[in-house]
Amino acid sequence: MSGLDARVVVRRAAFTLDVTLRAEPGQVLAVLGPNGSGKSTLLGVLAGLLRPDEGHVRVGDELVTDPAAQVLVPPHQRGVGLLAQQALLFPHLTAVGNVAFGPRAHGVPRREAEARARELLEAVGVAELADRKPARMSGGQQQRVALARALAPDPGLLLLDEPLAALDVDATPAMRSLLRQMLRGERANRPKQTAVLVTHSALDALVLADHVVVLTQGRVVEEGPVRDVLARPRSAFTARIAGLDLVPGTACAEGLLTADGLVVSGMSGRDGEVPATGESVVAVFPPSAVAVFADRPHGSPRNVVPVRLAAIEPRGDMVRLRARAMPGGPHWVDGLAADVTPAAMADLAVEPGAELWFAVKAAEVAIHAAD
């Protein structure tokens, strides 16, 4: 098994990517971040499609990129596989021909390459499609063949670029489960696979990855074990994909002080962490903890803010109400979400643009350091 050790610096006119990544052999590293954060540029450098301005990329013991030393190993020689959103299979080749292509390009005899291809096609559950061309496969079937093709040359590093994004809702769960089994070495007697997964899905990261880094504007702003990062997000983007609400501010005696001077009461000191007064902190709570009122509530909730209803989003058995700031109101409410039942929504009888009140009990709010 190969590990990954990389520092990638790419400078553009209005953007600089400066990221350090490490993955142990057999570890899956998820890379999350909003559009424009540098994820695609990072993958391009790891794959050998882009030359960085500074840094290095080492896959296992092999240095494949180092601009200072004039090292740039071509993509087909660096032992890196790629599974993208689209399968991008060769349309003139059968499934077995597509999968055997990589080993054949590395000098493996035809019979051995085709035997390996058929073994992998069976492992990914499409052995019956071995002699079928892509035009006669569904999108999910094509992606399974593409996974087998990416693994066929036994890459030291596998790059996964939103591999489930283009699949329909029926094919996605099965493909996600298959990916996990293949990455963990649970099929075809394969070892664990070192991989970098770029995704916008918290579920994909939780199911497939061990470790996660979050990029914002070309920098790593959060990293750690996947469950830890998603349970205790420190940036608005991470909170959003984890399905949580987040309010930034500084620590105060009552909890958190926002930039516009409002206090958010919460439970600090969880897991032994007690932010010091004035320290940058975030308040985090689930949308299910937010109560919604047409008129200002009175009673136990200590955190009550006026909002304007921006959107109504069906969420299974619940309805998600998305907020935006009122004129002259706190700006940090933009994007806050509240989950209510359909019955509660019917009682509110509101449409986007309506003025509402969001309320959260202090006991539902976790406050932890932002850095």
Q: What is the DSSP string of 283-351?
A: EEE-GGG-EEESS---SS-SEEEEEEEEEEEEETTEEEEEEEPPTTS-GGGTT-EEEE-HHHHHHH---
Task: For residues 197 and 369, give the distance between their C-alpha atoms in angstroms, rounded to a whole number.
Answer: 27
**Which residues, 6 or more positions from 131, have their beta carbon under 8 angstroms from its beta carbon?**
94, 95, 96
First to last CA, the chain: 33
Instruction: Enter the DSSP assignment of 276.
Output: P
Q: What is the pLDDT along the chain (371 residues), one digit of tens a residue?
A: 689 999 999 999 889 999 999 999 999 999 999 999 999 999 999 999 999 999 999 999 999 999 999 999 999 899 999 999 899 999 999 999 999 999 999 899 999 999 999 999 999 999 999 999 999 999 999 999 999 999 999 999 999 999 998 888 888 898 999 999 999 988 767 789 999 999 988 899 999 999 999 999 999 999 999 999 998 999 888 998 899 999 999 999 888 999 988 899 988 755 556 778 889 999 999 999 999 999 988 866 679 999 999 999 998 899 999 999 998 888 999 999 999 999 999 999 999 999 999 999 999 999 988 86
State how far the Cα of 87 lies from the Cα of 371, in Å rounded to an integer: 39
Q: What is the SS3 assignment for 92?
A: coil
